[in-house]
Structures are given as C-alpha cells and as structure tokens.
Amino acid sequence: MLSRHFLRSKVLQSLYAYTISESDDLNVIEKNFLHNIERLNDLGITQMSTLLYFFDFSKKCMEEAKTKFLPSKEEVNPNMRFVENKFLVELSNNYELKKAIESLKLNWSNHNDLFRTLYNSFRASEVYAKYMAAEVTDFKADRELVLHLFKHIMNYEALVDIFYERNLFWEDDFYQIAQYNYGLLKSFDEEFSAASVFPRVFDKRNEQEVEACDFASVLLKKTILSFNENTEIIKQNLKEWEYERVALMDILIIKMAITELVTFSSIPEKVTINECIELSKEYSTDKSKLFVNGILDKIYNELRSQGKIKKSGRGLIDESLL
C-alpha cells in the first residue's frame, strides 16, 4: 500500500510540473497524476518479473551444467533445494502475477549475461550456501532466502540501469517500490499459493488505498485552485525574506500544507506540518527544514485564529500508519 507520505511527494512533484509548464488545465493535471500513480504498478510488476526470470534462468543453468563435456559429480547430481523452493514455486505459478507480467510483455532473455552474473554471485553468497547446506528447510526458510535474493537483484546496478532506460520516471520511485515489494513478499505466509490474490502497488480493490489516492488527488486540485490565495498568505508572513527569492520547492510545500490544514478536518495539524517538513528535507535545500517549519508555524496560528482550521474525526487519533 502506498503511504500518504509517498502520495504527498507525488502531489509535490505534480505541483512542480504544473508550475513550470504552460498548461493550467486542471483535468489534464489530475489525469496525469492518477496515471503516474497507476504506472507504479508497472514498475512493481517489472521488479517482480526479474525474480521469476532469475528462478527460471537458474533451472536452465542447472540443466546446461549437466550437458558439459566433463561435468562434475555435483553438476550431474545437483542439489535441487533452490529450484524446489516452495515459495518461489508458488510465486512463479501465481495466476495474477503471471497474467500481469504477460500483459506488460516483459522479456529478460536479451539480458542473459547479466542474469548469469547475478546467478553466479548469488550462489557464491553465504546466505545461499547456508540454505543449501541446511539439514531441513521449511516455508519460513524458503521465504527468507527469496527475500535475500530479491534484495540481491534490486541492488545490482547494471539491472537498475536497465529499469531507468525503460522508463525515465522510474528512477525517482525505484527503491520505494522495491521496498514495497520486499514487504509484500515478507507478508506472504504458508497459505500463499498460485491461486492467491496478488496485491498491486496501487490496488483499486483495496478501499483504503483508493481513499488515500482520493486524498492526494483532492489535495493536488485544491492546492492549485488556491494557488494565488496561498501566495498572498505566504507573502504576508515573510517578514525577513522576499517572496521571489524563496526556493520554489519551499513555496510549493507551504502552499500544499496550507491547503491540507484547511481542507482535511480529520488530519491532525501536527501530522500535516511534520510531513511537509520531511518533504522539505527530501526535495529542497539544507536550510529549508527550519524555514518551512517557521513559516508554517506563523501561518497555522494565523489561520487558527481566523477560524479557518477546524479539526474533528477519527483521523485526529493518528495518521502515522497510513
């Protein structure tokens, strides 16, 4: 599931694109935003496809070894534990995952040299050696090995570069989605099978995820609609700075924060402000954290005294897990 912090970062990126573009068509902006969110599913499935291709490729390597002119005893009678890994078997046979991979027409066969390097390096790892040498294994051990393998694949720079070549937009989100997929793999238990539902990064079947995406979409639209109004609010609270000299990302973050404070009654003020401070650390200058915090504090007190911020509802309890 996409966190609201991640969705806020996507809103911020869309606001930046809106600011530097010549288009002010709100419908197009919203459509592009939703398209970019849904496109994260393609990245997630493509990452998963490398894991399944690695599994198939390892089987082929094992068969190739048997046909050598002078195969070793180990190559003739290989340890089959990895290719019989129950978790990988069920994952590779999962109907929804296979269908998603097929729909994207993914094919890694042009990169067999890369996967051979990955295969050899993983086999040389201590984790793999311990797994293959263990007296017995269970589902937990099988899954643990797959988690190590997924991290191994996702951290292989040559493969990551191929992802970036396929889609320039994936560079910003690659490791965020890899972390999501890692958590997804870790969440599967012994009940997981070929027939199990395979969650998407953004899954429209999940009501909570749809609500979170709706929140981000409304935040984007209302921030744009109140752009000029929020500009004046910021200018009124800039006593020692000139508006034109403030970093653009700081301005956008503050505008987004103002909109969230006055629009979403169920989100605690503290959550909104803390989230925007975190965004300033990620997307703006070294000094932005203090600047954004200081200006937002002034603006919050002003809006509160004017009765423009009204909070109520279950969201006041805690949004940290959303």
Give the residue among 142, 144, 129, 117 at the shortest CA–CA distance from 61. 117
Q: What angle do helix axes 157-166 and 139-154 make, rounded to 10 degrees?
A: 70
- 221 in a domain, yes or no? no
Domain boundary, last residue among 169, 187, 205: 187
Question: Helices 26-66 and 139-154: crossing angle, nearest 10°?
Answer: 110
Give the model's pLDDT for residue 316: 42
Asked if residue 136 and residue 35 are part of one domain, the reply reads: yes
Q: What are the distances in angstroms from CA 26 to CA 15, 37, 223? A: 11, 17, 11
Alpha-carbon gap, residue 126 to 122, rounded angstroms: 9
Domain end point (choices 187, 206, 234): 187
The pLDDT profile of the chain, 322 residues, written as one tens digit per residue, is: 688 999 999 999 999 999 988 677 888 899 999 988 989 999 999 999 999 999 999 999 888 877 777 777 776 777 889 999 999 999 999 999 999 999 999 989 999 999 999 999 999 999 999 999 998 889 999 999 999 999 999 999 999 999 999 988 899 899 999 999 999 999 999 999 999 999 999 988 889 889 999 999 999 999 999 999 999 999 999 887 888 889 999 999 999 999 999 999 999 999 999 999 999 999 998 889 999 999 999 999 999 999 999 887 554 434 433 3
120 and 250 inside one domain: no
Which candidate, 306, 272, 311, places its Cα nearest to that of 292?
A: 272
Query: Could you tell me if residue 98 is inside a domain?
Result: yes
Question: Which residues lie below 8 Å from residue 60, measured CB to CB, with a gap of 6+?
Answer: none
Q: Note whether 10 and 106 are same-domain residues.
A: yes
The CA-based diameter of the chain, rounded to the nearest angstrom, is 85
Shared-domain flag, residues 183 and 236:
no
State whether 234 and 159 are in the same domain: no
C-alpha gyration radius of the chain = 24
Whether 21 maps to a domain, the answer reads yes
**Where residue 302 sits, what CATH number does that domain have?**
1.10.940.10
Kindly report the number of other CB atoms within 10 A of residue 200's CB atom: 21
Asked if residue 157 and residue 21 are part of one domain, the reply reads yes
Please check whether residue 193 lies inside any domain of the structure.
no
Tell me: do 126 and 76 sit in the same domain.
Answer: yes
What is the distance between the alpha carbons of residues 95 and 115, in angstroms, rounded to a whole number? Answer: 24
- Count the Cβ atoms, other than its own, within 10 Å of residue 259: 24
Q: Mark whether 179 and 66 lie in a shared domain.
A: yes
Is the domain of 76 the same as that of 172? yes
Show which of 187, 210, 238 is a domain's final residue.
187
Residue 200 resides in a domain = no
pLDDT the model gives residue 313: 58
CA–CA distance, 67 with 262 (Å, rounded to integer): 70
Calpha distance 269→67 (Å, rounded): 67
Residues 243 and 175 in one domain: no
What is the rounded distance in angstroms from the CA atom of residue 247 to the CA atom of residue 75? Answer: 61
Coil, helix or strand at residue 66: helix
Q: Tell me: do 44 and 118 sit in the same domain.
A: yes
Task: Tell me if 219 is assigned to some domain.
Answer: no
**Gap between the Cα atoms of 113 and 115, Å rounded:** 5
Does residue 321 form part of some domain?
Answer: no
Give the DSSP H or E segment for 142: helix 139-154
Output the DSSP codes for 193-260.
-TTS----SS-TT-HHHHHHHHHHHHHHHHHHHTHHHHHHHHHHT-SSS-GGGS-HHHHHHHHHHHHH
Q: What is the 3-state secondary structure (H, E, C) of 251-285?
A: HHHHHHHHHHHHHCCCCCHHHHHHHHHHHHHHHCC
- Structurally, the chain folds into a number of domains equal to 2
Q: Which residue has the tokens 């290989």?
A: 78
Asked if residue 99 and residue 244 are part of one domain, the reply reads no
Asked if residue 195 belongs to a domain, the reply is no
Q: Which residues span the domain enclosing 268?
A: 226-315
